[in-house]
Chain A
Amino acid sequence: MKTNDVILQTTTKVIFFIIFLFSIHIFFAGHYTPGGGFVGGLLTTGAIVLLLLAFDLNTVQKALPFNFTIMTAIGLLLALGTAAGSIFFNVPFFTHAFDDFSLPLFGVTSLHTAMVFDAGVFLVVVGSAITIIQSIGGDS
């Protein structure tokens, strides 16, 4: 299917970044306001899907040269590692820790191990969704 939709492609180039940044925002804000790793990951997936619709598979693969299968694996490891890491501090599996830290530029920020776990969720969602789309779309 060859299309050359200039309007779609031009707007996509801008909108992709808006959606992507919004997904990052939603990911970080998730612990206090609606959002989180799952939705954030889905939004990023949506952004990539938009790219795929506007351009074709090869162009997107060149623009985003990630191996999404490996991204899934990294996400799973991150999530599992956060959960398992707690037992090495002799607290039950899946115990999270959080505290407020004063960081340069950000000021007082609350840091939470749940965010690392959520990052794992984010990566798995993006990785597996794009893996599915790429393999179905790339199948000729």
Chain B
Amino acid sequence: MEFVLLIFLPIVAALFIPFLFRKIKGIHTGWFVLLVPVVLFIYYTTFIKTTMDGGHALSELQWIPTLGISFVSYLDGLSILFSLLITGIGALVVLYSIFYLDKNKEKLGNFYVYLLLFMSAMLGVVQSDNVISLYLFWELTSISSFLLIGYWFTRDGSRFGALKSMMVTVFGGLMMLGGFVLLGIMGGTFSIRELIAGSSSFVGHEYFTLALVLILLGAFTKSAQFPFYIWLPDAMEAPTPVSAYLHSATMVKAGLYLVARFTPIFAVSEVWIWLVTGIGLLTLFWGSLFAVKQTDLKAILAFSTVSQLGLIMSLLGAGAITFHVDEALFSFAMFAAIFHLINHATFKGSLFMIAGIVDHETGTRDIRKLGGLMSIMPVSFTVAFIGSMSMAGLPPFNGFLSKEMFLQSMLAIRQFELFNFATWGIVFPVVAWIASVFTFIYSVYFVFKTFTGKRKVETLPLEPHEAPVGMLISPVILAMLVVGIFFIPNVVGKWLVKPAVMAIQPYQYSHPSEVEVHVSAWHGFASVELWMTVGIILIGGLLYLSLSKWQKFYGIQPESLSLNGLYDATMTFSEKGMNRLSRMYMTGLIRTYLLFIFAFLSVTTVAMLFLQDAFVVDMSSFSKISVYGLINAVILLLAVAFVLLSKTRLGAIISLGAVGYSVALFFVIFKAPDLALTQLVIETVSVALFLLAFQRLPKLSDHGETKSNKLVNGIIALGVGVTVTLVALSSHSQKLVASISQYYKDTVETEAGGGNIVNVILVDYRGFDTLFEIAVLAIAGIGVLGMIKLRLARKESTDENK
């Protein structure tokens, strides 16, 4: 079987969810959903063997091959790592959500449909080899995340957060699409593999840096890097399983994936290295600084996620330096980045779940109201403690290992003498260290303020108690992984990290085993990182103890001067400004709109005709005018005159019908039975429609036309008539390109198996056209239905108010 189809498995499963949710009331819908990620996880583990040997798997599904667009699933070390994270954490999150979301009170049908949609989208992002299909899935993650954040859509906060996340991530996505198109222009292909292979040929291209920046914008908005992180804290309005899944383990990591995936193409550029490393470090610093300010448990975690994503981003940037200097230190950074990515998914996933449990069992997430829950919720406390200490970078947890590697890489950057790193290099370890101190503080803040100290039971909305067993399974598994990875880091390294590193740095390695990184917990007393960690614990500890004294300094910054303030101001401004702009030309009179449309049409067409010197009349090829044609033309003209001169609307409608019928007659004369038939029926139906709406139309004399109005109308009508005539004459006389009809005549039998060219064009050659046309038709039908039915409904509701 083609495994590319597996990407669509969650979407296909999603089709059945509403049915299951409605019909099977006794069983929580989540149990059915759970099957999907579990099956996929097991299936994807079978690829580990291939990627460990440095191989990859490829599976292709045709989409629009003539444009170079296909669904290509390319499984190498990096894709497999991400696919396993998506399905593995996905399974745990679904399991958790079964206990978190009540099957009787919540709209589970919606929830799981969105979640499965998201799962497909995410798998598509990390497996796509084609940048266009990657973009498609990328935006699908934005949309499904929008739906998930807005899951409790009756709350203002949910809607605001959902809109904000979509605004920011879709903005980045569109920028990224631009970058992809530029890449396609430069490299002549949309396949990432081919782009990587041919990247040396277009490095010096003038679009290179532009494409780089645009693609990074996509990655930075998705991965909540500074200054785009503002959407992530507001995304916490989503149900906690969603936060644990999307906003810590998977979607936000899509940006990291993108950076890693495109490193082989862009790493040669100093702009890339400066931007990725610099923005990453800034985000790490900023996120950790502001995490301590927060009072909501999930907000603390959101900011900590922002900072951790920054950490991984900066490591990816440092790892890209290997493309310039052949030093083991920097492939080490790439290893650290991937390793920390796995570690972060485990500890942050468990912490989010704990935050959800605390919220679920006590009724609040406000850290000021919490405290002393340790004895009531011992299991949750243990998990929270393990997760937090791993996040703070303490042994014996996996976060310690990758944190040490991070510090080591940042120290190594100092020695790198390229692109001014020698002068600025010292900034990197210093900023990294300060950020780590704050990381330590918020980790301790999160766990100890919640679980230790005086119990404030009277302020809690609910009587606190330990969570049910089922809800604890997922966080406990993740916590066990946190501890487990600390003791067997090299197994994880060999199975998952090294193949991924090889995928990111294909020029350096031909086999994963060549990535000579050995993770060890103990580097001896001489290592600088160890003393940096000791310093982090000491200074961080002191600062935590004096937290109440300096936490109030955060209040100094006024809200209007923050990035959130900027976002709000931009939104309000664009809404008001655009409203004013559209009110200028949207008068509500259909006459005005038609005026604009026709005037624009005739002016531009005639101008182009003469600018391009395209107007020619070739009298010799005109056919003779038959008697029937002449008579029919007279009828047509008479009918048009009747429409204009008619004093009653009924007369106008009927003469308009006559115009239509005589046009149909022309089709008959010129031997186009298809068109004639269509025209006749259309005319009949539209006259009937007109008559139906007739009694609701205003009187003909009522529409307030003045003399000048009539003059403008006349000019426009004349202009359109002249335009159409000119276009018809010159398109008949132009013989620059051969007529396409011969091609249809030749191929209609062989290619499409049909006899009627018109119909074959409609359903086959130009099927897209027809598909979109009927979509427009359907939308028009539903639009009319909506307008009339909604108007009736509103009338009824106002009646009730009376």
Inter-subunit contact A42/B685 (CB<8 Å): yes
Inter-subunit contact B770/A128 (CB<8 Å): no
Closest approach, in angstroms, between the C-beta of A90 and any C-beta of chain B?
A: 5
Chain B residues near A73 (CB-CB < 8 A):
778
Inter-subunit contact A87/B62 (CB<8 Å): yes
Closest approach, in angstroms, between the C-beta of B188 and any C-beta of chain A?
A: 20
B677 contacts chain A at the CB level, 8 A cutoff: yes
A94 contacts chain B at the CB level, 8 A cutoff: yes
Inter-subunit contact A45/B759 (CB<8 Å): no
Chain A residues near B788 (CB-CB < 8 A):
135-136, 138-139
Bound-complex Cα distance A135 to B792 (A): 11
A114 contacts chain B at the CB level, 8 A cutoff: yes
Contact A75 B758, CB 8 Å, known A96-B764, A139-B788: no
B648 contacts chain A at the CB level, 8 A cutoff: no
Contact A90 B755, CB 8 Å, known A42-B681, A45-B681, A132-B781: no
Chain A residues near B681 (CB-CB < 8 A):
39, 42-43, 45-46
Inter-subunit contact A87/B63 (CB<8 Å): yes
Chain B residues near A93 (CB-CB < 8 A):
62-64
Inter-subunit contact A53/B762 (CB<8 Å): no
Q: Chain A interface secondary structure, helix, strand, loop or mixed?
A: helix
Give the A-B pair count, Cβ closer than 8 A: 162
Contact string, A105-140, partner B, CB cutoff 8 A, digits 1/0? 000001010100110110011011101110111110
CB closest residue in chain A, given B5: A88
B753 contacts chain A at the CB level, 8 A cutoff: yes
A91 contacts chain B at the CB level, 8 A cutoff: yes
Bound-complex Cα distance A139 to B694 (A): 12
Bound-complex Cα distance A135 to B452 (A): 65
Contact A96 B785, CB 8 Å, known A39-B678, A79-B774, A136-B693: no
| Interfacial residues of chain A within 62-103, with CB under 8 A of chain B in the complex | 69, 72-73, 75-76, 79-80, 83, 87-88, 90-94, 96, 98
Contact string, B756-768, partner A, CB cutoff 8 A, digits 1/0? 1011101110011
Could you say which of B71, B693, B754, B789 contacts A31, with CB atoms under 8 Å apart? B754
Chain A residues near B62 (CB-CB < 8 A):
87, 90-93
A33 contacts chain B at the CB level, 8 A cutoff: yes
Contact string, A21-65, partner B, CB cutoff 8 A, digits 1/0? 000001000111111111100110110010011000000000000
Contact string, B761-802, partner A, CB cutoff 8 A, digits 1/0? 011100110110011011011101100110010000000000
Nearest first, the 7 closest Cβ-Cβ pairs linking A and B are A128-B781, A32-B755, A98-B753, A36-B759, A42-B681, A124-B774, A114-B763
Q: Measuring CB to CB, which residues of chain A are less than 8 angstroms from any residue of chain B?
A: 26, 30-39, 42-43, 45-46, 49, 52-53, 69, 72-73, 75-76, 79-80, 83, 87-88, 90-94, 96, 98, 110, 112, 114, 117-118, 120-121, 124-125, 127-129, 131-133, 135-139
Q: Measuring CB to CB, which residues of chain B are less than 8 angstroms from any residue of chain A?
A: 2, 5, 60-66, 71, 673-674, 677-678, 681-682, 684-685, 688-689, 692-693, 696, 752-756, 758-760, 762-764, 767-768, 770-771, 774-775, 777-778, 780-782, 784-785, 788-789, 792
- 18 further A-B pairs in the complex, CB-CB below 8 A; given A31-B753, A31-B760, A92-B65: A30-B759, A31-B763, A36-B756, A39-B674, A45-B681, A46-B684, A49-B685, A69-B781, A88-B61, A92-B64, A117-B763, A118-B759, A121-B763, A125-B774, A128-B781, A133-B688, A133-B689, A136-B692
The 14 listed contacts between A and B (C-beta, < 8 Å) are: A31-B755, A32-B754, A32-B755, A32-B756, A38-B762, A39-B677, A72-B782, A79-B774, A80-B771, A92-B66, A124-B777, A128-B781, A131-B785, A135-B785
